[in-house]
Structure 1
Amino acid sequence: MGLEDVLRGLKGFPERLGLDLGDPGDRFKWFIASLLFAKRISYRIAEETFRRFVEEGLTTPSRIVEAGWGRLVEVLDSGGYVRYDFSTASNLLEAARKLLDEYGGDVDRIHELASDGRDLERRLMEFKGFGPTAVNIFLRELRDVWRKADPTPSRLAVEAAERLRLRDVKRFESKLVLLNLEYCKRKRCDVCPVRSHCTEPSRAG
C-alpha cells in the first residue's frame, strides 16, 4: 500500500474525538479541543478531558459561561488536566464570553469577518489561550471547510514529512503530527504504520 493510502486510512484528531467539522456545532467543539491540545500536556489527557466536556454537555459558549470557573476546573481535573486546570478554566471562560459578546456565539463568524488568512489568525489569537500553537491546531483541520484557513504547517508535521519524503504536508498535517507524537517521539518505530516508508526508522525521535 502506498504512503498516501496509509495516511488517508489513519484517523486525525477530530475523527478520534468523533467530530465532523462540516457540522457548525462540532466546529465549536474543535475550538475547545484545540485550546486543550495546545498546552504542554499529553494529547491523550487532552482527548480524555475533551470527552468529559462532551459528557457534561459543556459544548456551547453559553453552557461554558453558565458552568462557571469552579465547575470548569472540576471537569478539567476529572480528565486528568490537573497541571493547567486553573489557567485553562479561565481561558475557556474568557474565550466563551468573547465569542458570545463579539461574534454572537458563532465560531464561524470569526472566519466570515476576517479579511484574509492572516486576519483570521489574528482574530483567533485575540482569544485568551489561543497562541500560535492553538491557532495552528484549530485551523489545520479546517482547510477544507474555511476558505481562509491555511496556517503554516507545524514543526511536528514537517519533521514527520521529511522522514517520509512527503511533499504534501498540509494535506496530511494532522496525521503527520499524530504519527510524530505517537511513534517518533516515543521511539515506537517497530509498530509504526508507515515504518516501511520511513527514511530513518531507527533514529526517529
Structure 2
Amino acid sequence: MSGGQRRIVRELVGAHGQTYADEAGIRLKDTPQPLYRLLVLAHLLSARISASIAVATARALSEAGLRDPRRMAGADWQERVDALGRGGYRRYDERTATQLGEGAELLTERWGGDLRRLRDEAEGDVPGVRRLLQEFPGVGPTGADIFLREAQLVWPEAAPYLDRKALQGAERLGLPGDPDRLLALAGKAEPAVLAAALVRAAVDKDVAEQTLDHAA
C-alpha cells in the first residue's frame, strides 16, 4: 500500500473531512429530529445546485423552526418557499416546498415521524433502507446515497458506505476504487468523514488539486 496514497488521504481528511450534516449545524444522533433534518439536507443536496447553497438552505429551514416532520407538514406552503429562498434555493423553491410538505406527511403517517422505524421496516438491510428512502418525494438514488453516506456515523449497520460520488473523488485523487482499501488508507478516520472528504474532492477540483499538492 503506497505511502503516498496514505499521505493523500491523511491530507484530504485533515483539511476537508467535515460531514455535510456538521456543516449544516446538525448534531447527528440516532434520534428522530436530527435524522429528519439529515433527510431534508440530503434532499436539498441531491438537486443540481451547489452544496454551499443546499447547506445554507438547510440552516434557513432550521432557523424557521422547520426541524421536524410535524412542523414541516404544518407550515404554510409559502412559509416553506420563503425559507428556501432565504437559503438561496430559489431555482427549485416552489417544487421543493411541495415535496418537503408531502414527504413530512408521509414520514408522519407511515413511520410516526421516526426514520428509525423506516430502518426497522427494512430490517436494517441497507439496500432496503435505500429503496424506502426513495419513496420520499424528491429523494431519488442520489438523495438516498447522501443520507446513508452521512447516517452511517450513527447507523453503524450502514457502514462502510462509500457511494459512487465518493469513489469519483478517490479516482480524481489517484486513489483505489475499492472501499476496503480506501478505509485501510484512512486508518482511524470514520467512514462518514472519509466519504464526505472524498465527495468534496469529487465536486471541487480545487480541493483535489490542493490535496495532491500538499501531499506531494
**Which TM-score applies when normalising by structure 2?**
0.80
- My pick for the range that moved more, 37-46 or 114-123, is 114-123
Q: Deviations over 1:96-127 (max 9, x none)?
A: 00000000011111111113222111111111
C-alpha separation between the residues in 1 aligned to 2:118 and 2:56? 27
The amino acid that maps onto 2:129 is L
**What residue is the counterpart of 2:11 in the other structure?**
6
- After TM superposition, which residue ranges in structure 1, 4 or more long, deviate above 4 angstroms? 187-190
Q: Structure 1's 195 and 180: CA in aligned 2 closer, same or farther, altered over 3 A?
A: farther
Shift of 1:141: 1.2
Higher RCO (Cα < 8 Å, 6 or more apart): 2
C-alpha separation between the residues in 2 aligned to 1:17 and 1:55? 11
- Secondary structure of the corresponding residue to residue 170 of structure 2: helix
**What residue is the counterpart of 2:213 in the other structure?**
195
C-alpha separation between the residues in 2 aligned to 1:168 and 1:129? 31
Unaligned 5+ segments in structure 2 are 1-5, 184-189
The amino acid that maps onto 1:67 is A
Task: Report 1:40-189 matches (<5 A).
Answer: 40-115=48-123, 116-149=125-158, 153-162=162-171, 163-166=173-176, 167-168=181-182, 171=191, 172-182=194-204, 184=205, 187=206
**Contact 1:12 / 1:178 at 8 angstroms: preserved in 2?**
no
**What residue is the counterpart of 1:38 in the other structure?**
46
- Secondary structure of the corresponding residue to residue 151 of structure 2: coil
Unaligned 5+ segments in structure 1 are 199-205
Percentage of matched positions with identical amino acids: 33
Q: Deviations over 1:46-98 (max 9, x none)?
A: 11111111111110001111112121111111111111011111110011000
More helix per residue: 1 or 2? Answer: 2
**Contact 1:117 / 1:150 at 8 angstroms: preserved in 2?**
no
